[in-house]
A and B are shown apart, each in its own frame.
Chain A
Amino acid sequence: MGKGTFTSGTWEEKSDEISFADFKFSVTHHYLVQESTDKEGKDELLEDAIPQSMQDLLCMNNDFPPRAHCLVRWYGLREFVVIAPAAHSDAVLSESKCNLLLSSVSIALGNTGCQVPLFVQIHHKWRRMYVGECQGPGVRTDFEMVHLRKVPNQYTHLSGLLDIFKSKIGCPLTPLPPVSIAIRFTYVLQDWQQYFWPQQPPDIDALVGGEVGGLEFGKLPFGACEDPISELHLATTWPHLTEGIIVDNDVYSDLDPIQAPHWSVRVRKADNPQCLLGDFVTEFFKICRRKESTDEILGRSTFEEEGREIADITHALSKLTEPAPVPIHKLSVSNMVHSAKKKIRKHRGIEESPLNSDVLNTILLFLFPDAASEKPLDGTTSTDSNNPPSEIEDYTLYNQFKSAPSDSLTYKLALCLCMINFYHGGLKGVAHLWQEFVLEMRFRWENNFLIPGLASGPPDLRCCLLHQKLQMLNCCVERKKARDEGKKTSTSDNVINTYPGDAGKAGNHLGPDNLKDTDKEKGEVGKSWDSWSDSEEEFFECLSDTEELKGNGQESGKKGGPKEMANLKPEGRLLQHGKLTLLHNGEPLYIPVTQEPAPMTEDLLEEQSEVLAKLGTSAEGAHLRARMQSACLLSDMESFKAANPGCFLEDFVRWYSPRDYIEEEVIDEKGNVVLRGELSARMKIPSNMWVEAWETAKPIPARRQRRLFDDTREAEKVLHYLAIQKPADLARHLLPCVIHAAVLKIKEEESLENISSVKKIIKQIISHSSKVLHFPNPEDKKLEEIIHQIINVEATIARARSLKAKFGTEKCEQEEEKEDLERFVSCLLEQPEVLVTGAGRGHAGRIIHKLFVNAQRLTESSDEAAAMAPPEEEVKRMGSPEERRQNSLSDFPPPAGRELILRTSVPRPAPYSKALPQRMYSVLTKEDFRLAGAFSSDTSFF
């Protein structure tokens, strides 16, 4: 068996239950999975070979395995079977029962020829008492055990144990063959005094106004509040001693841990150390389970008494006919806070609002930085992609988590709520901030101020719904603002800058009267097309007509186009379409200004697609579906007609769907090659939707069309939605952002420590989270799992930091030594036990020694001053190596564990018997003392 295979290999076990004498036992087969040892095994199956297990008793390659079943540790076995009472509380207590069991085992082994040792667990389970037997051809090993609470004095040292070993063997030979000895002393270090855990809980009072202890709004805290490493265990091992080389008795010992040839270390981690990030996220997650509404938490609605019940959309809508409120150009956070607080106070009497105004001010300023500057943000928003964060991968994480970009308002809001929940009034604070936030949203909508921290454009469906809603509100603000500004400038020559390609500046005004004629011309067919949009009064833009007429476009109409149309003055042109000309008069074809399609959030979209799907798959359903979606097509056709008076469907199709206009080279009467075009077959089908729409479309420029997107209605819907969100809803909306932020935080912290195992786990957390968070309503259990993973990573990083501080890796000046030390520290985190290179004389060994010396000084000396002496001096004081040897005994506390393995091979029971493996393991700790002996004897010749 190779060195260390007990640790590196995999252990497996198979269990079964049996009944014996009305008693249920579980039988478990433990074995080390061995690869490709078949050949070896066959070779060993010689007639008189002793069983594998007996050979293993003497093998020294796997002494003191860091992680193994106790029977493996005690007897060095690679395979064994244990019979134990099935129920945890059951025990085989009486001696007669033990004997009955053991003799049955003996018979069973004899009958089956099984060479695997068989153990029976006796006494209470916690005592871990086993007796067992192993049989081979003509040989037998008895496994016996002694377990005591108090150790008899003669067993505390080597010489006493040797005596008992020899007397147990009862070897008839003199002199006795030499006994081989392996010893391990384990020392425990609990006192880290010098290196007490530096992290203090952040100072909350000092928080407002700036960064304190790494805590500020928009950031997450990190790290353990207590030392995540509780103990260090140093095992000093003498793997191979021979009797007589060393002395260890009740008055003197050669066993100086400093001199031990092997040192290995393990650390004991604190169970669930309190960690800040984990606490933050956990507490935030708890909000998800709260049932209270914002109003219930804060008292009655602050909106009601002012007669502005926002839940009532129709009421809000009726306000729209009133003139728009006068915009206040200078936003001031203190004003905002002041008014909002006043409102709240009015309702809550003298009771203070849950967030104090300093905190609220700081947060609002953080969320809405534009409120601090003189001018409100105009047009562009902060989230422009021209300045992408250095790590694009990190930035696009929102895509996977369905959260929101890390520089967005939504993300910041999530972090603020997280912080408030933890430090500033818990749920009440959360409800309060949310109420303020909703007020601010309404304020911005009513005063045409864009919301900062949101990418412009339609809602980003890759983000969380709340983020989409805010984007939607911004779209509404943008449209409303454009419209209001249009109204204001209608008397001047200004054109709003939404349409940079506008053909002209000023010109004749084409009144609605002119249009009426055309309406009559076309008849009332158009009615049915109106159904999709229902606010009759609102037009896309209420601009005055500011476009210049192309003066030379008037004398057309000769080629047979509808005269009435051709005589209209063109309106709403965006730009000329390349070289295309109208078919009937050769005029340039103009692309019209069109209405933007309605932005949609995912819930609206879901609704709409449900409606569309409900229409079914029949022909009528499909037709209706197309019709419902044709508002945009119709609007575009109307704009096109307005921009290109007298045009045909063919003209429209050439712009709109060029593949449906098929051109062919033909030879005309004069023999010239000319291009002749026609509509594609599918466009020519009589009364297909395109033709139908075309016939209905009136020449109306986009700005005078009915709005396709009713921003007023949509904005009120969003504001209502926001207002009815309970803190729990809010927490569910924002949890992906919080998880996203937490993952970024652990990523950032890991990068400072560079722990490869943690890197791997973070990757797994990301892929795991992206799977969980993409489903609409992730299960709590799965969310908890993710949070738990984050907590584990935080604890691991905190442990790494604690160990680095204790071993002073940063202080290490020599590059090579530093690297070694760092490697050693990271091994401590990942492996159950780590070998100290060079033992007590190596670099790490010297540091460990120092740690123990310091701890010893502290316990020995009552003098506080002595305790503070720097470690360097301690070592110097110890003087010459000789002196130190004697001193070092007291450098360490008494070993917390003493393990000894005594081995020999002697003939038993008679001098002429076969020489067989004998082994005794002993362990002495503060609590108990155990002897585990395996004594083999020849069963054929005695």
Chain B
Amino acid sequence: MDEDVLTTLKILIIGESGVGKSSLLLRFTDDTFDPELAATIGVDFKVKTISVDGNKAKLAIWDTAGQERFRTLTPSYYRGAQGVILVYDVTRRDTFVKLDNWLNELETYCTRNDIVNMLVGNKIDKENREVDRNEGLKFARKHSMLFIEASAKTCDGVQCAFEELVEKIIQTPGLWESENQNKGVKLSHREEGHGGGACGGYCSVL
């Protein structure tokens, strides 16, 4: 079944409690919206295989609880993630303001420095917007993250968010190839041979 899967990618969803992380994930994996979704306890986990540019990738997505108290537990899951989706709620400025904290956390706990980050402004279906699209975009640019606005309720931008993230990860070879042959720098300075046999390259008189 998984024969043609190029790679398995670990994706992490983080952000303040109630911004709609679990809802976004549910929309992405099951294409539904469940207003009765309980607040996440610890971490939850879903799998989905998607195809980007003809490359099939299996996504193991860890949905973390945004709740302050669970946060001591969740950083452990940052380990080895190739992509992170950082979510805020466009109708709650405080969730946007807290983004800096989340980035800090990422920086502290991520085990790799070439991880791909995606910022998602969720709940754009709602009317009482408090964070402008441009603000989100600016923040994302400043921290070199991908950016998209979405709604788990109406499905807007959800698929796109995940696809773009995966595409970017696949374009960053060191991130997903565990066997990256010959990719590294060639450092060994070839010592100049001294008149070895036939005149291949370098020759001097002596």
Contacts and interface: CB of A to CB of B under 8 A. Distances in A.
A775 B80 CA distance: 9
B111 A462 contact: yes
Contacts of A597: 72-73
Interface stretch (B120-128, B132-140, B149-157, B183-191): B183-191
A241 interface: no
B189 to A, nearest CB: 6
B188 A792 contact: yes
A71 B189 CA distance: 25
Most chain A Cβ neighbours within 10 Å, of B41, B70, B75? B41
Interface in B3-48: 16-18, 29, 35-47
A688 B38 contact: yes
A617 interface: yes
A768 B187 CA distance: 10
B43 A612 contact: yes
A636 B199 contact: no
Interface in B145-203: 174, 178, 180, 184-185, 187-189, 191-192, 194, 197-199, 201-203
Interface in A90-141: 121, 125-126, 128
Contacts of A609: 43, 45, 62, 77
B109 A186 contact: no
B198 A792 contact: no
Contact of B44 (A622, A636, A768): A622
Contact of B205 (A633, A785, A899): A899
Contacts of B199: 69-71, 128
Contacts of B189: 792
Contacts of A785: 184, 188
Nearest to B36: A685
A785 B185 CA distance: 11
Contacts of B72: 596-597
A764 B41 CA distance: 43
Nearest to A768: B184
Given A617-B29, A764-B187, A461 B76 contact: yes
Interface residues of B, number: 54
A657 B187 contact: no
A388 B183 CA distance: 35
Contacts of B174: 771
Interface stretch (A508-516, A675-683, A714-722, A847-855): A675-683
A897 B206 contact: yes
Nearest to B75: A461
A620 to B, nearest CB: 13
Given A626-B42, A899-B205, A680 B109 contact: no
A925 interface: yes
A461 B109 contact: yes
A626 B73 CA distance: 13
A659 B17 contact: yes
Interface in A781-821: 782, 785, 788-789, 792
B60 A613 contact: yes
A268 interface: yes
A775 B205 contact: no
A656 interface: yes
Contacts of A402: 111
Contact of B187 (A636, A681, A789): A789
A534 B16 CA distance: 32
Interface string A63-87: 0001111110100000000001000
Nearest to B38: A688
B47 to A, nearest CB: 6
Contacts of A764: 185, 187
A626 B180 contact: no
Q: Secondary structure at chain B's binding surface: helix, strand, loop or mixed?
A: loop
B204 interface: yes
Interface string A652-680: 00001101100000000000000000001
B67 interface: yes
A929 to B, nearest CB: 12
A625 B39 contact: no
Contacts of A896: 206
Q: Which of A461, A680, A681, A772 has the most C-beta atoms of chain B within 10 angstroms of its own C-beta? A: A461
A68 B204 CA distance: 8
B142 interface: no
Contacts of B180: 771
Contacts of B192: 67, 832
B104 interface: no
B202 A126 contact: no
Contacts of B205: 184, 186, 897, 899, 923, 925
B198 A682 contact: no
A771 B45 CA distance: 27
Contacts of B47: 617
A612 B204 CA distance: 67
A280 interface: no
Interface string B61-99: 010000111101101110100000000000010000000
A765 interface: yes
A625 B45 CA distance: 9
Nearest to B201: A69
A88 B196 CA distance: 12
A629 B40 CA distance: 10
Interface in A612-660: 612-613, 615, 617, 622, 625-626, 628-630, 632-633, 636, 656-657, 659-660
Contact of A88 (B185, B198, B201): B198
B76 A605 contact: yes
Contacts of A121: 198
B35 A657 contact: no
A682 B66 CA distance: 14
Contact of A660 (B18, B35, B204): B18
A25 interface: no
B202 to A, nearest CB: 5
A602 B75 CA distance: 11
B43 A629 contact: yes
B143 interface: no
A354 to B, nearest CB: 36
A682 B60 CA distance: 25
B67 A657 contact: yes
B112 interface: yes
A689 interface: yes
B95 to A, nearest CB: 8
B203 A68 contact: yes
A317 B204 CA distance: 74
A630 B42 contact: yes
A602 B80 CA distance: 10
A388 to B, nearest CB: 15
Given A125-B198, A657-B39, A461 B111 contact: yes
Q: Which of B16, B47, B73, B205 has the most CB of A within 10 A?
A: B205
Given A69-B199, A617-B45, A897-B205, A400 B113 contact: yes
A656 B69 contact: yes
A126 B198 contact: yes
Given A269-B191, A660-B18, A788-B188, A632 B73 contact: yes
B187 A765 contact: yes
Given A70-B203, A682-B39, A774-B111, A660 B187 contact: no
Interface string A2-28: 000000000000000000000000000
B60 A660 contact: no
Interface in A687-702: 688-690
11 contacts: A66-B204, A67-B204, A70-B203, A73-B204, A461-B76, A597-B73, A659-B92, A682-B38, A768-B185, A897-B206, A899-B205
Which 7 pairs show the lowest CB-CB distances between chains A and B? Answer: A629-B42, A897-B205, A688-B38, A125-B198, A626-B41, A70-B199, A70-B203
Interface of B: 16-18, 29, 35-47, 60, 62, 67-70, 72-73, 75-77, 79, 92, 109, 111-113, 174, 178, 180, 184-185, 187-189, 191-192, 194, 197-199, 201-206
Given A632-B69, A682-B36, A925-B206, 7 more contacts: A67-B201, A461-B111, A609-B77, A685-B36, A788-B188, A789-B188, A899-B205
